[in-house]
Amino acid sequence: MTDSKTPRLDELEKGAWPSFVTEIKKAAAKKANSQDLLDQLELSYKDKIGYWKHGGIVGVKGYGGGVIGRYSAKADQFPNVKEFHTLRVNMVPGFFYTTEALRGLCETWDKFGSGLTNMHGSTGDLVLLGTTTENLQPCFDELAEKGWDLGGSGGGLRTPSGCVGMARCEFACIDSMDFIQEVTRHFQDAIHRPAWPYKFKIKCSGCANDCAAATARSDFAVIGTWCDTLKIDQNAVREYVKGGFNIDALVVGKCPTKALEYDSAKQELKFDAENCVRCMNCIDMMPKAIKTGKDRGAAILIGGKAPVVKSAFIGWVLVPFMKVDAPYAEIFDLITRITEYFDEHAKSRERIGELIYRVGMGNFLKGVGLTPQPQMVSAPRANPYIFWQDEEVVKHG
């Protein structure tokens, strides 16, 4: 019935969920490269294999990163995607945009590229998907005129990214958007001229809910928290209970350290402050009644990453608590010490979590000038294989 060239992808225009195929077709109506992208993808769907080659080194003047080279392996069939490079544009922290700014970006991308984007890529960048080598520089020049800089790629600092934070969240213990903006500005050279053994990611969440997934996927995770105690408004607690909220099942029973107890006679939520591990559940469940503490800062976790090569790691506690206030001198200094150690000691394509695993956390702590804290471990060692140094033993005989 139909003579469509893309019957498989057409199938993915049906159904309720927004269709990426429809999006490619919109771009294809205007751009020959997006049409070739669609046709090459149809071939991938038919053959069950990808048709992109390894990237070559392409970029814009003055930058070593921010552009990912991409070439079609089927350029003879799809000449318009022979070169189909990605520009990683540094997003606005928190992913807020004015429509004016976005329209300006679209105008430039319609002029120089495929008209296709990712809002946003996994790391957080605003991804402009598909242009030629020739168009990279004029595209970037025009983007830069409009205030858009590139993000990171390769063995350097990747575009820092974070949660919405204080802009629209009562849980935010630190100004994650501002921190992300300032850390990005401070470390521009490390982002744009990658010179480290491998990638290094910084992500920031305003609280332990970690909406930015910082602990799981960043080498240096900044997680907002507090060092005094959370605040309970007993009247508001009563309102929740009166409204039928199951405080025992959803709050008391879920507290990881049994620090909460509801006295139904007194209608009071009792709280063992010293046992609180600031997990956020009670606050999440009763945001009107329970608030974060007032003396706020962040925990720093190190080493989070996906599986390749040694294993996936969820970040490890490095600094149990530190202040994270503008102008962020203390935390910038810590990042500098850590990335210098990383640059000096890591092997090629070794993430910092893998480096720490290889050299030992104790050596790493010494290397970056931090002292061991019990918060760093879930339990002390259970094996007797302790390294003693010469200066720790008595020289004799």
Q: Please state, in angstroms and rounded to a whole number, the distance separating the CA atoms of residues 350 and 83.
A: 30
Residue 194: CB minimum distance to other proteins, A = 13
Among residues 296, 349, 347, the alpha carbon closest in space to that of 324 is found at 296
Nearer to other proteins, 216 or 227 (CB): 216
Tokens describing residue 286 = 């009763």
Burial letters 370-382, b for 16+ CB under 10 A, else e: beeeeebeeeeee
Residue 187: CB minimum distance to other proteins, A = 9
Q: Please state, in angstroms and rounded to a whole number, the distance separating the CA atoms of residues 176 and 319.
A: 17
- Which part of the chain contacts other proteins (CB under 8 A), choosing from 60-68, 194-202, 369-377, 388-396? 60-68
245 near other proteins, rule: CB under 8 A: no
- For other proteins, the binding residue among 79, 147, 362, 369 (CB under 8 A) is 147
Element (H, E) at 83: none
Tokens describing residue 316 = 């490890």
Nearer to other proteins, 213 or 368 (CB): 213
Site for other proteins in 353-392 (CB under 8 A): none
12 near other proteins, rule: CB under 8 A: yes
- For other proteins, the binding residue among 115, 156, 297, 367 (CB under 8 A) is 115
Nearer to other proteins, 349 or 369 (CB): 349
Site for other proteins in 325-344 (CB under 8 A): none
Q: Quick check: 138 and 112 in contact, CB under 8 A?
A: yes
- Which part of the chain contacts other proteins (CB under 8 A), choosing from 176-184, 263-271, 366-374, 382-390? 176-184
- Which part of the chain contacts other proteins (CB under 8 A), choosing from 309-317, 321-329, 366-374, 386-394? 309-317
- Which part of the chain contacts other proteins (CB under 8 A), choosing from 159-167, 266-274, 317-325, 383-391? 159-167
Q: Please state, in angstroms and rounded to a whole number, the distance separating the CA atoms of residues 332 and 338.
A: 10
- For other proteins, the binding residue among 243, 244, 307, 397 (CB under 8 A) is 307
SS (H, E, C) 133-187: HHHHHHHHHHHHHCCCCECCCCCCECCCEECCHHHCCCCCCCCHHHHHHHHHHHC
Residue 120: is the preceding peptide bond cis (ω within 30°)?
yes
In the block, tokens 């009644």 appear at: 289
50 near other proteins, rule: CB under 8 A: yes
Residue 203: CB minimum distance to other proteins, A = 10
- For other proteins, the binding residue among 67, 87, 157, 166 (CB under 8 A) is 166
Q: Please state, in angstroms and rounded to a whole number, the distance separating the CA atoms of residues 232 and 273.
A: 11
Nearer to other proteins, 221 or 370 (CB): 221
Number of residues counted as binding other proteins (CB under 8 A)? 123
Among residues 112, 180, 113, the alpha carbon closest in space to that of 151 is found at 180
Q: What is the pattern of x (binds other proteins, CB under 8 A) and - over residues 181-220?
A: x--xx--xx--x---------------xxxxxx-xxx---
Residues in the chain: 397
Element (H, E) at 70: none
228 near other proteins, rule: CB under 8 A: no
- Which part of the chain contacts other proteins (CB under 8 A), choosing from 247-255, 334-342, 366-374, 385-393? 247-255
Nearer to other proteins, 217 or 219 (CB): 217
Distance of alpha carbon 333 from its chain centroid, rounded?
A: 21
Q: What is the dihedral of CA 159, 160, 166, 171, to 10 degrees?
A: 130
Residue 195: CB minimum distance to other proteins, A = 14
Site for other proteins in 258-297 (CB under 8 A): 279-281, 284-285, 287-288
- For other proteins, the binding residue among 134, 145, 295, 340 (CB under 8 A) is 145
Q: Please state, in angstroms and rounded to a whole number, the distance separating the CA atoms of residues 136 and 132.
A: 6
